[in-house]
Amino acid sequence: MSISWLKPLANAWNKKHLQRPELASMFDKPAPDQWVAIDCEMTGLNPKKHHVLSVAAIHINANSIDTGSGLHLVCKPPVMPDRDTIVIHGLRTADVEHGMSYDEMLSLLLPFIGNRPVVGFCPQIDIGFLNPLVKRYMGTTLPNAVIDIRQLYSRRMGSQIQGFSNKSQSLASILAHYDIPNLGSHDAYNDAIMTAMAFFHLR
């Protein structure tokens, strides 16, 4: 049984509870040829005890990726990153202690996202961190459709990757399959660019 009709109902309910009227256009129907690639760096993978460190977002249009006008926002988390996570994302205390607050970050990020579908690699993780912040900021969670390039790739390749490990569906593997340059992982802006380029091949 399809439950696709639940999404419009949920968005209608959320729009009624929107606390920032200037963001009402986020609930409008998106254009068919506009998306936004998003990536976050966090202190860990558990939204209940870890925190967002940086967020990057890049517009994807019908025939272009607007890398020149993207966002790369560094935030000040309530708990500074420890040595183990610094090794992964490279963001030190000195890099984030003067970062913007989460409200300041969202004041820039949400208008930039607008009503565009969100594109990411396993974006459920990023959205899981963003949504609690978004709900506190504007009274609702993100209403945007979410597109996972890993799922797009899995559907595209079908039986060719059945039986292979999850590494065959890693971002690096997807980039290699389409001869897309690997700009280096665990940098939010680089990851957003690579995600956008992969989506360009998969959409």
Domain annotation covers residue 14: no
Domain annotation covers residue 195: yes
Domain annotation covers residue 22: no
Asked if the model's pLDDT at residue 4 lies above 50, the reply is no
Domains of the chain: total: 1
Asked if the model's pLDDT at residue 111 lies above 90, the reply is yes
Are 42 and 54 in contact, with CB atoms under 8 Å apart? no
Q: Burial-class residue 125 by CB neighbours within 10 Å (0-12, 13-18, 19+).
A: middle
**pLDDT 10s digits, 163-179:** 444 555 789 999 999 99
Domain annotation covers residue 109: yes
- Report the CATH number at residue 42: 3.30.420.10
**pLDDT 10s digits, 113-163:** 999 999 999 999 999 999 999 999 999 999 999 999 999 999 888 756 554
Domain annotation covers residue 161: no
pTM of the model: 0.87
- In whole angstroms, give the CA distance from residue 85 to residue 95: 13
Domain annotation covers residue 79: yes
Domain span at 42: 31-148+184-202
Domain annotation covers residue 157: no
Confidence of residue 87 (pLDDT cuts 50, 70, 90): low
Domain annotation covers residue 25: no
H-type alpha helices, 17-148? 83-89, 93-96, 102-113, 123-138
- In whole angstroms, give the CA distance from residue 91 to residue 95: 6
